[in-house]
Structures are given as structure tokens and as C-alpha cells.
């Protein structure tokens, strides 16, 4: 048991790290907050200065704003749905003793090693391209008109690409959880006459719930900031059809050089992320306490 | 200390002393073919200037724009020479961010630069960037398909003729599209094309008091014509197609006509890359009889930022890369067809070049017919043919480009796209202080 002296010593020794971590987090956030109240456009430096909440008002009144919020949530929700459901199914499959199991597992996990811009380029030019893509070839083979994915279903296309990248992560975590399931329990249920579906619903799924929670929480954080896939494939369009909040902030900062508005957008994104995280923790996070 | 150590030490000292004296220029450049070729030929420069070392930062066009703009606006000082275009030069020169190029050497023939290009790179008569290659836009078309459609392309066609020919040449079953035009959103992509096209329809971005003009009938005519034409005769996925995508389609024989940069002529007529190299004809960009054609004007140019400590060496390099002697150097190593085009009048008077580049005359005519100071039928308060030379245009052009790309993709009506373009442009111009 720690004495008061050792506790004090521990606090003292931890203090520099905690302080460094605090500064590392708070300084960029404070600078972003400060810039969000400034009119700062390096290309047009004449009109600099404090402007109150007008950057927030301008960012909010941007015609793309609500679409961007909606798209951000749609990307997070859809990718989570695809990866969790798909991940559970793939984990169940990969848990079966099949020939070449190791090879199949590597194959399923491999998309996770591909960098997002590279994955997006491959999907854009080799798979979904309406003239040269594999899907277009398949459509022509079947005698139907190829689909112009990025023009007709831009957000759906982005979701598919992002889900393809995150499915291996979900599968990996869920498979690990599945492998820790007690075989004797399953055997007993089977002997008692429980069907496959009952066993899955009452044994497997509750056992995987903590892993599913981990997948949802970690992926939510990353999916709120999806950016490269959009930049490479649709560039946020057509119109604002695939613009999400990070992409809108990028547009303001790097294309329009409206640093004040981009910072206001960044603060709004932080607030949104916290709201989503709060609800995610309330909804699924309690699984982690058990 | 033995003899070997002594010799090694002496050699190192000499090398270090040499480097200490040499100046290193950091050059930001775009990753296109002509620029990459320049990097392979720089021995010629460094041999003549042993005290100058070159360090290249080669980037894709959009990334280059972001990097150099951020660097110069924040006075970062990363680069001594920057590759920029006719859009940036007048804006940056007015902000005093660029050095005037008045030290290019006695044998540098500035008067030989094509006047339209020199005009786009000058402010108050002073050259602020030297053109590495210049371009306008024109029609590249398939002579065989045109003949098959029973038509003859005039040297200076109208939009009506082009639309009619495009619809006649389209053969969906054979995967031939009558016309390939830019649809990918971006101020340098679809808006370069559409702004130039709108000039020939009598449209303009702003009236003399900077009021946006997207609510005027000229813009409606332009956008409706473009969307209808692309629907009837354009390729699938046109809203994702920029320069490179259309180049690939044309080279594979999937376009009857392609209206784009004149520099593309050497790519579509090169049998190594193009399956239709021997069937390509050229014509001026179309008009509607109002006095302006739908062609643009652009020059990738080398400029020296005001913040550099190595201005003299930087100007020496700019002078070398954009000189007549450089054109001769490329011709001697790679042939006349590969010299950077569109910058010097003397090149177009050169019989060898004319022989190697059948598109030379049409390129020059296209460049000469574009006037950045009077780009539109009605008067405007801005400079620039396919852009508006104000800092806000970079963002504005891309935002409006997104809306027009959505109209092309069928995600938005032409009327909605124009209404939103008018709203967003009005808001940006008010915010920027242009409209009180």
C-alpha cells in the first residue's frame, strides 16, 4: 500500500508529463479559438482584426454547413453500421477451421495497410470509374449502362471506400473477442438444443459487446475526420453532396485562405465531436465498465 | 597523422569550402513534363554557374499552389524561385510579394516574349515573372469522325456548329463521345473552361461595380448550352473529368472533339501515347459571333519572391530557364516538338519548329486572340480571361465550380446552380469589401 510520501512522489514525478500533455493539447486549441474571432486572410491582409462572432455566423450561414454536418454524421453512422455488421459476420467466418485460414485472414486484414489516398485512388480509377473501372466492365458485360458512381452516388461511394478501409480493423478486434469465447459454454448450449441463431444472439453477441463498443468508439473518433478519401475522389462534390465538416474547414483554410472562418469551423467540429462522443459513451460506453 | 588522413582531411576541407561559397536555390515547381525535363537539363546551368546549387521541390499542381501561396503570404521564405501562373502574378506583384525581373542579363530577349503572355505577367509595364511555357485553348478534333459525319471543321467555328457536329459524331455503342469538356470542379478545371466559354456568350463574372452577374441571361445561356451538350454528346462521368481524364479519353479515341489547352496538342499527336495521332485536326475555340472566342490564356512562369536572400542567383536561373538558348538546348537534346511552347515569337517563326509541330500556327493564333485586359464583350473591372485576378477568386472559383459540376451531374438544376452561384459570390464580394 502506497504511503503518503510515495503518493506525493508519484504526483511530482508525473507532473511534468501531465503538464506537457496539457500544453500540447491546450496551446493549438487556444490558438484556433483566438483565430476564430479574427478576420485573418493572408492573401488580403488589409482587413485584419477582431470581428467577434462573425466568423461563426459566416460559417453557419454557409450554404454547405448543414449539408456538411449531415454528411459527417451519415459517414460516421453508415460506416459504423457496415463495419460492425460486416465485422461480426467476417469474424464468425474467419473463426471457422477452414483450409488456408491464415492466408484468408491476411487477405481480409490487408486493406488496413493501404494509405487512405492510395485506396481512394484505386477505387476511383480502377474500380468505380465509369469508363475504365471494374464495375463499369461488369455492367457492360451484363448489358447495362455503367453507373457514374461519383456523380450519381457521391456520398455512398465515399462511404463504401471508407468502410472498406475500416472493415479489417473491426474484423480483427471482433475476431480476437470471438476467440476468447468459452467453447464449453457453446457446447452445453448446443447439447441443450439451442439453435445457431439462439447461440449467436444469447451467447456470442453479448460476449462480443465490449469489443463492439471499442470498435464503435475508436472508429467514431477517426470517422469524424474523414478527409483524404473525399479530396481524392469527389472533392466534396458534385455541389456539396459529399462535403463533410473537415472538408469544409479544409476548403476555407487552404483554398479560400479564410483562416478565421476555418478556425471557427474547427471549433464547431470539436464541439460536434464532443457531442457525438458524449452520446456514444452514454449509449455504448457503459459496456466498458462491466 | 598519416598521409592518408592528411589527404582526406584536405579534400574534405576543400569540398566544404566549395559548398560554403555556393548558394543553394530552392525551386518550387509543378510536376508536368516540360518542368521535369528542365530538371534533367540543369547541368547546362550549373556548369556555367558552379557557385549555384539547385534544390527542387516538385509538386502536383494543386499542392504547389497551396504551398507557394501559403509560403509567400506568411512570408515563410522557403523558396527562392516559384512556379506560378498568370493568375497569381498581377495579384502578388501588387502586394509587393514578387521582385521585378529587371536583372535577367544583357542577352535576355524580353521583347521576343509573345505580347499577350508578357501582358499577363506584367504590372505597370514591369515583368514580374518569366514565362516557361504558355498556352491558350483550342479545338482538337478527329478528322476521320468529322468526315464520317459529313462535315468540315472551319478554322474558326461557332458553338452552334460544334454542338451540331458533336451530336452527329456521338456513337454510344462504339463508345465515341462527340465532345469531351472539363467537368471536374475547380477554379483551374471546369471554371477555366466555363469562364472562357462564357466570355464568348457575352457573359461576365462582375459588372463594373463588382456586382456578380450569374443572374443574367448570358450565364444561363452558357450553362444550359454546356449541360445540354454534355448530356447529349459528352462522356459518362464528365463531372469528374479534368484535363488529364479528357486527355486519356481523347488519346484512346473516345472523343470526337476536345476543347482544351493548346499544350495538349503535342500529347494527342504523339504516336507513342495517342492511338489517334495521325487523325487529329485543330481549330480555334468556338464563338457566337459577339467578338470574343471561348479560349483562355495561361503561362506557367518562374518568379522570384521578394523575401529571398538570393535574388541575383535566382534571376540568373530564371533567365537561363526561360531564354531562347534553353529552347535551343531542348531542341538539340529532345527534338523541336518537345520545346516548351507558347512563350516566344521567334519560336513560331522557326521553320524547323513549324515542321515538327503542325499545331504551331493555331496555337499562336489562339494565344494572340486572348486579351486578359479586355476578356469579355461588356466591360469588366478585372484582368484575366478564364479567371478574375482578385485574391478571392481561388476559393470563389472552386465553390462556383462545385455548383456547376453539380448541374452537369444532374444533382442540381441549371437555375438552382446559377442562383446559388449568385448568392455565394455576392456574399464573398461583400465580405471582401468590393460591394459596400
Interface touch B408/A238, C-beta < 8 Å: yes
C-alpha span between B367 and B428 (Å, rounded): 31
* Residue A24 CB contacts under 8 Å (≥ 6 apart), including other chains: none
C-alpha span between A268 and A275 (Å, rounded): 11
Please write the tens of the pLDDT for every residue from B380-391.
Answer: 999 899 999 998
Given a cut of 80, whether residue B114 has pLDDT beyond it is: yes
Question: From B417, which residue of chain A is nearest by alpha-carbon distance?
Answer: A239
Residue count of chain A, please give it: 290
- From A156, A90, A98, select the one nearest A123 (Cα to Cα): A156
Interface touch B420/A241, C-beta < 8 Å: no
* Residue A67 CB contacts under 8 Å (≥ 6 apart), including other chains: A240, A241, A243
Please write the tens of the pLDDT for every residue from A70-115.
Answer: 999 999 999 999 999 999 999 998 888 888 888 888 888 889 889 9
C-alpha span between B233 and B181 (Å, rounded): 10
Contact between B79 and B317 (Cβ < 8 Å): no
Per-residue pLDDT at A16: 94
Please write the tens of the pLDDT for every residue from B261-317.
Answer: 998 998 898 888 889 989 999 999 999 999 999 999 999 999 999 988 898 999 999
Q: Does A190 touch chain B (CB under 8 A)?
A: no
- From B211, B172, B135, select the one nearest B363 (Cα to Cα): B135
Of the given ranges (B13-22, B151-160, B221-230), which has the lowest mean pLDDT?
B13-22
C-alpha span between B384 and B251 (Å, rounded): 30
In the three-class reduction of DSSP (H, G, I as helix; E, B as strand; rest coil), residue A70 is classed as helix
> What's the whole-number average pLDDT of chain B?
90
Q: What percent of chain A has pLDDT over 70?
A: 96
Q: Does A251 touch chain B (CB under 8 A)?
A: yes
Query: Which residues in chain A are closer than 8 Å to B433, comparing Cβ atoms?
Result: 47
Please write the tens of the pLDDT for every residue from B246-264.
Answer: 999 999 999 999 999 998 9
Cis check for the bond before B169: say yes or no (omega within 30 of 0): no
Give the minimum alpha-carbon distance from B274 to chain A in angstroms, rounded to a whole number: 17
Question: Helix, strand, coil % (nearest 5) of chain A?
Answer: 75, 0, 25
Grid cell 467540429 in the structure block, residue: A269
Strands B177-180 and B280-284: unpaired
C-alpha span between A168 and B382 (Å, rounded): 53
Give the minimum alpha-carbon distance from B332 to chain A in angstroms, rounded to a whole number: 37
Give the minimum alpha-carbon distance from B215 to chain A in angstroms, rounded to a whole number: 18
User: What is the DSSP code string of A173-186?
Assistant: HHHHHHHTS-HHHH
Q: Is the pTM of this model over 0.95?
A: no
Given a cut of 90, whether residue B154 has pLDDT beyond it is: yes
Interface touch A41/B185, C-beta < 8 Å: no
Given a cut of 90, whether residue B65 has pLDDT beyond it is: no
Q: What percent of chain B has pLDDT over 90?
A: 64
Q: Does A44 touch chain B (CB under 8 A)?
A: yes
| Contact map slice: B 209-238 vs A, CB within 8 A | 235-238
Pick from A42, A151, A256: CB nearest B73: A42
The H or E element containing residue B283 is: strand B280-284
C-alpha span between B287 and B281 (Å, rounded): 18
Query: Which residues in chain A are closer than 8 Å to B394, comparing Cβ atoms?
Result: 43, 255-257
User: What is the DSSP code string of A137-191?
Assistant: HHHHHTTSPPP-HHHHSHHHHHHHHHHHHHHHHHHHHHHHHHHTS-HHHHHHHHH
Q: Is the ipTM of this complex over 0.85?
A: no
Given a cut of 70, whether residue B12 has pLDDT beyond it is: no
Q: Does A52 touch chain B (CB under 8 A)?
A: no
Residue count of chain B, please give it: 436
> What's the whole-number average pLDDT of chain A?
88
Alpha-carbon distance values, A109 to A102, A113, A222, B228 (Å): 11, 8, 18, 45
| Contact map slice: A 56-75 vs B, CB within 8 A | 58, 61, 63
Q: Is the dihedral of CA A165, A167, A172, A174 positive or negative?
A: positive
Please write the tens of the pLDDT for every residue from A147-173.
Answer: 889 888 999 999 999 999 999 999 999
Grid cell 483562416 in the structure block, residue: A259
Banded pLDDT at B4 (limits 50, 70, 90): low
Given a cut of 90, whether residue B79 has pLDDT beyond it is: yes
Q: B283-308 burial, b if ≥16 CB within 10 A, otherwise e?
A: bbbbbbeeebbbbbbbbbbbbbbbbb
Other Cβ atoms within 10 Å of A117 Cβ, number: 14
- To test the contact with chain B by mutation, choose from A46, A151, A250 the residue with the greatest count of B C-beta atoms within 10 A, namely A151
- From A126, A50, A37, A74, select the one nearest A245 (Cα to Cα): A74
Per-residue pLDDT at B331: 92
Interface touch A43/B398, C-beta < 8 Å: no
Per-residue pLDDT at A288: 67
Please write the tens of the pLDDT for every residue from A111-143.
Answer: 988 999 999 999 998 999 888 889 999 998 898
Give the count of Cβ contacts less than 8 A between chain A and B: 109
Amino acid at each position: 500500500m502506497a504511503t503518503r510520501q510515495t503518493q506525493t512522489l508519484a504526483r511530482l514525478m508525473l507532473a511534468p508529463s501531465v503538464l506537457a500533455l496539457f500544453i500540447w493539447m491546450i496551446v493549438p486549441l487556444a490558438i484556433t479559438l483566438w483565430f476564430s474571432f479574427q478576420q485573418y486572410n493572408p492573401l488580403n491582409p488589409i482587413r485584419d482584426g477582431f470581428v467577434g462572432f462573425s466568423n461563426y455566423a459566416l460559417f453557419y450561414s454557409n450554404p454547405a454547413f448543414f449539408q456538411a454536418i449531415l454528411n459527417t454524421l451519415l459517414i460516421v453512422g453508415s460506416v459504423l453500421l457496415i463495419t460492425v455488421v460486416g465485422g461480426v459476420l467476417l469474424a464468425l467466418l474467419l473463426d471457422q477451421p477452414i483450409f488456408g485460414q491464415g492466408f484468408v485472414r491476411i487477405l481480409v486484414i490487408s486493406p488496413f495497410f493501404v494509405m487512405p489516398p492510395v485506396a481512394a485512388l484505386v477505387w476511383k480509377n480502377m474500380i468505380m470509374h465509369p469508363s475504365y473501372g471494374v464495375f463499369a466492365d461488369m455492367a457492360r458485360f451484363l448489358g447495362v449502362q455503367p453507373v457514374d458512381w461519383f456523380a450519381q452516388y457521391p456520398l455512398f461511394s465515399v462511404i463504401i471506400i471508407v468502410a472498406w478501409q475500416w472493415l479489417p480493423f473491426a474484423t480483427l478486434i471482433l475476431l480476437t473477442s470471438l476467440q476468447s469465447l468459452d467453447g464449453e459454454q457453446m457446447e452445453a448450449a448446443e447439447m441443450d438444443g439451442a439453435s445457431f441463431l439462439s447461440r449467436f444472439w444469447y451467447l456470442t453477441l453479448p460476449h462480443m459487446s465490449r469489443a463492439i463498443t471499442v470498435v464503435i468508439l475508436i472508429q467514431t473518433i477517426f470517422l469524424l475526420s474523414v478527409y483524404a478519401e473525399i479530396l481524392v475522389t469527389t472533392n466534396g462534390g458534385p455541389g456539396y453532396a459529399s462535403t463533410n465538416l473537415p472538408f469544409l474547414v479544409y476548403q476555407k483554410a487552404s483554398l479560400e485562405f479564410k483562416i478565421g472562418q476555418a478556425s471557427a469551423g474547427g471549433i464547431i467540429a470539436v464541439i460536434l465531436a464532443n457531442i457525438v462522443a458524449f452520446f456514444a459513451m452514454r449509449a455504448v460506453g457503459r459496456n466498458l465498465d462491466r | 597523422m598519416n598521409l592518408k588522413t592528411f589527404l582526406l582531411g584536405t579534400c574534405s576541407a576543400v569540398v566544404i569550402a566549395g559548398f560554403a561559397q555556393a548558394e543553394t536555390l530552392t525551386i518550387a515547381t509543378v510536376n508536368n513534363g516540360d518542368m521535369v525535363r528542365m530538371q534533367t537539363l540543369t547541368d547546362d546551368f550549373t556548369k556555367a554557374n558552379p557557385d549555384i546549387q539547385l534544390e527542387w521541390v516538385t509538386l502536383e499542381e494543386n499542392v504547389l499552389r497551396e504551398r507557394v501561396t501559403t509560403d509567400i503570404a506568411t512570408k515563410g521564405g522557403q523558396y527562392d524561385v516559384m512556379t506560378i501562373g498568370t493568375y497569381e502574378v498581377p495579384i502578388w506583384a501588387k502586394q509587393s510579394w514578387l521582385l521585378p525581373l529587371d536583372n535577367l542579363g544583357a542577352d535576355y530577349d524580353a521583347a521576343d516574349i509573345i505580347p499577350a503572355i508578357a501582358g499577363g505577367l506584367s504590372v505597370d509595364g514591369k515583368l514580374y515573372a518569366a514565362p516557361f511555357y504558355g498556352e491558350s485553348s483550342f479545338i482538337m478534333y478527329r478528322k476521320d469522325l468529322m468526315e464520317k459525319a459529313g462535315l468540315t471543321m472551319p478554322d474558326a467555328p461557332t458553338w452552334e456548329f460544334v454542338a451540331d457536329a458533336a451530336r452527329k459524331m456521338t456513337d454510344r455503342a462504339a463508345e465515341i463521345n462527340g465532345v469531351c469538356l472539363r467537368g471536374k470542379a475547380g477554379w483551374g478545371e471546369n471554371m477555366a473552361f466555363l469562364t472562357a466559354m462564357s466570355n464568348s456568350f457575352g457573359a461576365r463574372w462582375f459588372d463594373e461595380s463588382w456586382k456578380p452577374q450569374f443572374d443574367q441571361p448570358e450565364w444561363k445561356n452558357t450553362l444550359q448550352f454546356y449541360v445540354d451538350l454534355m448530356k447529349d454528346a459528352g462522356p459518362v462521368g464528365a463531372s469528374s473529368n479534368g484535363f488529364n481524364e479528357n486527355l486519356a479519353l481523347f488519346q484512346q479515341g473516345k472523343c470526337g472533339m476536345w476543347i482544351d489547352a493548346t499544350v495538349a496538342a503535342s500529347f494527342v499527336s504523339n504516336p507513342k501515347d495517342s492511338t489517334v495521332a495521325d487523325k487529329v485536326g485543330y481549330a480555334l475555340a468556338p464563338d457566337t459571333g459577339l467578338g470574343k472566342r471561348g479560349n483562355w490564356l495561361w503561362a506557367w512562369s518562374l518568379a522570384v519572391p521578394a523575401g529571398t536572400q538570393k535574388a541575383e542567383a535566382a534571376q540568373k536561373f530564371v533567365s537561363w530557364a526561360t531564354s531562347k538558348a534553353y529552347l535551343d538546348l531542348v531542341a538539340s537534346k529532345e527534338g523541336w516538338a518537345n520545346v516548351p511552347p507558347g512563350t516566344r515569337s521567334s519560336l513560331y517563326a522557326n521553320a524547323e519548329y513549324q515542321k515538327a509541330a503542325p499545331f504551331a500556327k493555331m496555337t499562336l493564333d489562339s494565344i494572340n486572340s486572348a486579351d486578359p485586359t479586355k476578356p469579355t464583350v461588356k466591360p469588366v473591372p478585372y484582368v484575366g480571361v478564364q479567371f478574375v485576378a482578385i485574391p478571392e477568386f481561388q476559393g470563389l472559383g472552386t465553390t462556383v465550380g462545385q455548383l456547376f459540376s453539380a448541374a452537369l451531374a444532374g444533382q442540381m438544376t441549371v437555375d438552382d446552380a446559377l442562383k446559388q452561384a449568385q448568392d455565394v459570390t455576392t456574399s464573398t464580394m461583400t465580405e471582401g469589401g468590393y460591394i459596400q
